[in-house]
Structure 1
Amino acid sequence: MATWSDVRDAALALPEVAERPGQETLQWRVRDKGFVWERPLRKADLAALGDTAPDGPVLAAWVPDLGAKEALLADDAGVYFTTPHFDGYPIVLVRLAEIDAGELAELVTEAWLARAPKRLARQYLDGPPDEVD
């Protein structure tokens, strides 16, 4: 079971991330582009989801593309879901209480990679330069 503290830790471990409190929600941004955020369900979401609507905290996360979104939704519907509001967008919703911390960290990193500038993402993926003795 993941918590907002786990989201915060995973997001802030990435380069150039800032935590910004929204009007009433948390969000994490890389160079002013949001990549994961707290997403309370709205009336329309609840109506669309019906009995399957989660009653716990919900995280929204960017994914690389719509194919990745569909794969996550098909792979684990107990964790990942969407609403009509996000149709056509590479964003998944996550039942925070149902995802483990390791999978959450991977999701947050993938969301960051999807939104970070290409050069920054490449530097992160390449890792620090090797030291020469």
Structure 2
Amino acid sequence: MPTLDDVSRIAAALPGSEEREMTGGRTWLVRRKTYAWECHPWPSIPADVRAIIAAETVVSVKVADELDRLALVQARPDVFLHTTTRWGEPKVAFRLAAIDPRHLAELVTEAWYLQAPKYLHRELDAASG
């Protein structure tokens, strides 16, 4: 079962990534652009989703577009939440305890790619071989 420390470990391996503690929890950024964050049960979130976030650890990551988000939610509605807030769109939120560790690494890395500049892409690609 993945934890926030697993997200931190994945993020720490990505060039230029940094972790900050924010009001709502832990946040991961690259060049001051957020790509993953721990969700907080804000009042603006629908009540059903807010209850899930209050009861368990939920993480959001940036996605390429709304179609990517919808595909994830439709494929695994037991893992991915249907909505949170409009802030940070496009994004997808998921139950951390329910996600496969390999899929977690893929989601965090893809979110980083969406926010990182090209020179950091090249650095990661070179390190990956």
Shorter-chain TM range is: 0.7 to 0.9
TM-score, reference length from structure 1: 0.83
Matches within 5 A, 1:3-22: 3-22=3-22
Aligned to 2:67: 67
Aligned to 2:124: 124
Distance 1:81 1:31, change over 3 A: same
1: CA distance between counterparts of 2:17 and 2:90? 20
Distance 1:3 1:88, change over 3 A: closer
1: CA distance between counterparts of 2:43 and 2:115? 28
SS of residue in 1 equivalent to 2:61 = strand
Matches within 5 A, 1:41-120: 41-49=41-49, 53-54=52-53, 55-83=55-83, 85-86=85-86, 89-120=89-120
- Listed as ranges, the gaps of 5+ residues in structure 2 are none
1: CA distance between counterparts of 2:50 and 2:116? 35
1:2 alignment partner AA: P
Q: Which runs of 4+ in 1 moved over 6 A?
A: none
Aligned to 1:32: 32
TM-score, reference length from structure 2: 0.85
**Conserved 8 A contact 1:2-1:97:** yes
Deviations 1:69-106 (A, max 9, x none): 11111111111113252389210011011112111011
- Listed as ranges, the gaps of 5+ residues in structure 1 are none
**Conserved 8 A contact 1:48-1:83:** no
Is the deviation greater in 78-87 or in 21-30?
A: 78-87
The count of corresponding residues between Structure 1 and Structure 2 is 128
**Conserved 8 A contact 2:46-2:84:** no
Root mean square deviation of aligned Cα: 2.4
Deviation at 1:48, TM superposition (A): 5.0
1: CA distance between counterparts of 2:83 and 2:26? 20
